Amino acid sequence: MAECGQKAVLIVTRTLEGTATNIVRERHELRCELAEGHSGPHRDEQRNAEWSATPGQFRTLLRHEDEV
């Protein structure tokens, strides 16, 4: 069974302590691991990310995660 293979990028940000500024903490390239022609959103299980995109469309996802 062939993978979908749709790609996206996930940018994870955090707040810089003592400021109102968010900075990039991590950048991950995503790849949909579902079967080619699947229904619903694309999914990268390794990075726990879902996104919607039409074929050939490249998406950028932002996720804010403050350290606790």
At 27-65, the pLDDT tens digits run 999 999 999 999 999 999 999 999 999 878 899 999 998
pLDDT at 67 over 80: no
Q: What gap in Å lies between CA 42 and CA 53, rounded to an integer? A: 8
Q: What gap in Å lies between CA 16 and CA 28, rounded to an integer? A: 20
pLDDT, position 20: 85
Q: Average pLDDT, stretch 5-10? A: 94
Q: What gap in Å lies between CA 22 and CA 66, rounded to an integer? A: 9
pLDDT at 68 over 90: no
pLDDT, position 19: 87
